[in-house]
Amino acid sequence: MDYPNLTVVNNQVVKITSVEVNIPIESSDENISFISSSSHIIFLAINQNSIKKIYSYDDWEKNLFLAIYYCKELTDIQKCQFERWSTYFISFNFKTWNKATKNETNNFISDKKNQLFEVSQELQKKKIIEKYEHIRDSNKNLFRKLTES
């Protein structure tokens, strides 16, 4: 199951196809930067604010770290620097996207309107986390190493 990749860019509903990931290296002027088409990373980039408000920092960092570490666009040399990744300051920029279809746009807008009528913002944030965890758990291969430790 793929992670949802719809969001609004330039006042238009789009499907994000890639994001630029920037990872500062602690005690250095270095920065690891790469472009990823991973649906997992794209989902985290789109929903990072809501996820950060629900997850503890440790949970956010663990999930972000694993999504990035297993990203095919990250080189082995870059992975060797994992102990110095300044995960608190990792940033994302939407790099490429396609215009959503009319049906996708209508469904996206409808979903967002429904969220506006939720009783509290906390319920909205929890729904995003539940969706994320459901999809993440259905993709166990990525997280298998975490459970083996």
pLDDT digits (tens, 9 = 90+) for 53-92: 788 889 999 999 999 999 999 999 999 999 999 988 999 9
Q: What local confidence, expressed as pLDDT, does residue 106 receive?
A: 97
Residue 101 has pLDDT above 60, yes or no: yes
- CA 14/CA 34 separation, integer angstroms: 21
- CA 147/CA 19 separation, integer angstroms: 28
Q: What local confidence, expressed as pLDDT, does residue 129 receive?
A: 85
Q: Which two tokens stand for residue 111?
A: 């979903």
**Mean pLDDT, residues 13-20:** 98
> pLDDT digits over 109-144, tens only?
998 887 776 645 667 777 888 888 888 888 766 556
Confidence of residue 51 (pLDDT cuts 50, 70, 90): confident
- More reliable by pLDDT, 30 or 50: 30
Burial (CB < 10 A; 0-12, 13-18, 19+), residue 11, is exposed
**Sequential DSSP letters for 22-83:** EEEBTTSS-EEEEEE--HHHHHHHHHHHHHHHHS-HHHHHHHHHHHHHT-TTS-HHHHTTGG
Please answer whether residues 36 and 73 qualify as being in contact, where contact means their C-beta atoms are separated by less than 8 angstroms: yes
Residue ranges of domains in the chain: 6-148
